[in-house]
């Protein structure tokens, strides 16, 4: 069982960071549902694509429709995964190039999946989900007030760090009196805690029941 609070999980990234704007390193974004970060990027020579920026995804995910349109090489698998709250069969895909602001990546290994189910919930269908295999290449700050992602020297963040070899970012925090290490996941709308990790907490019927 899981415990969800009303605090936005993205606040974890904002509270430990200081940002200074810079035109050449700032990527503007639109905030959907008050938490989902949507940016523009280019991929395989195709500009102005719609991408969800997701710090909780290790690999970059391409919508299968985009993969077919660009005739990108894929390797079929028997695996399934959950993206934007919907399951999908996945394939391995090789991307010749991807650019997001100052970040440019060549020969990027990613995942192809069906992202069409997101249209009904979000009102749009993303071309791709940009994960940590791209974002980790530069330090960055998500500035929710200015609606910009600041890369490189534009921002500093002392609290966030990688969690071992898991390729995800995390922060140390105190939750209900317990010291925890939390993964920073910009695709979640709330703070999500596994009850067994939190342990019994007096006065919290949800945690005590797990």
The tokens of 38 are what?
């949507």
CA distance 61 to 58: 9
So what CATH class is 22-157? mainly beta
Residue 195 has pLDDT above 90, yes or no: no
pLDDT tens digits, one per residue of 25-34: 899 999 988 8
- Note the pLDDT of residue 146: 94
Give residue-wise pLDDT tens across range 143-188: 999 999 999 854 445 545 554 455 666 777 787 787 876 767 676 6
**pTM (two decimals):** 0.74
pLDDT band at 88 (very low <50, low <70, confident <90, very high): confident
* Separation of alpha carbons 198 and 136, rounded Å: 28
Better-predicted residue by pLDDT, 141 or 86:
141
Distance CA 182, CA 31 (A): 22
Q: What is residue 22's predicted lDDT score, i.e. its pLDDT?
A: 56
Q: Assign 197 to helix, strand or coil.
A: helix
Spatial contact of 118 and 86, defined as CB atoms under 8 Å apart: yes
Encoding tokens for residue 19?
């940002």
* Nearest alpha-carbon partner for 142 in 41, 6, 1, 9: 9
- DSSP secondary structure code for residue 123 in this structure: S
The pLDDT of 95-111, averaged and rounded, is 96
d(CA 194, CA 199): 9
Per-residue model confidence (pLDDT) at position 122: 76
* Percent with pLDDT over 70 in the chain: 65
Q: What is the pLDDT of residue 194?
A: 63
DSSP 153: G
Per-residue pLDDT, 167: 64
d(CA 96, CA 98): 7
Distance, in Å, from the CA atom of 198 to the CA atom of 57, rounded to the nearest integer, reads 23
Closest CA to 179 of 159, 208, 199, 160: 199
Report, as an integer, the average pLDDT of 36-47. 96
Percentage of the chain with pLDDT > 90? Answer: 40
């Amino acid at each position: 069982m899981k415990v969800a609070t009303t605090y936005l999980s993205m606040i974890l990234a904002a509270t430990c960071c200081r940002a200074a704007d810079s035109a050449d390193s700032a990527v503007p974004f639109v905030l959907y549902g008050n938490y989902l970060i949507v940016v523009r990027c280019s991929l395989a020579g195709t500009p102005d694509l719609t991408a969800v920026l997701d710090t909780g995804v290790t690999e970059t995910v391409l919508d299968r429709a985009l993969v077919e349109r660009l005739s990108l090489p894929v390797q079929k698998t028997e695996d399934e995964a959950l993206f934007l709250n919907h399951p999908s069969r996945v394939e391995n895909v090789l991307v010749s190039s991807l650019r997001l602001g100052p970040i440019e990546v060549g020969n990027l290994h990613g995942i192809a999946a069906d992202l069409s189910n997101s249209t009904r919930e979000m009102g749009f269908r993303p071309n791709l989900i940009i994960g940590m295999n791209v974002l980790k290449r530069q330090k960055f700050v998500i500035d929710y007030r200015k609606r910009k992602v600041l890369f490189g020297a534009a921002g500093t963040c002392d609290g966030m760090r990688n969690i071992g070899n898991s390729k995800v970012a995390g922060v140390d925090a105190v939750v209900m009196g317990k010291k925890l290490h939390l993964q920073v996941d910009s695709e979640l709308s709330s703070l999500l805690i596994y009850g067994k990790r939190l342990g019994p907490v007096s006065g919290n019927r949800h945690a005590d029941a797990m």
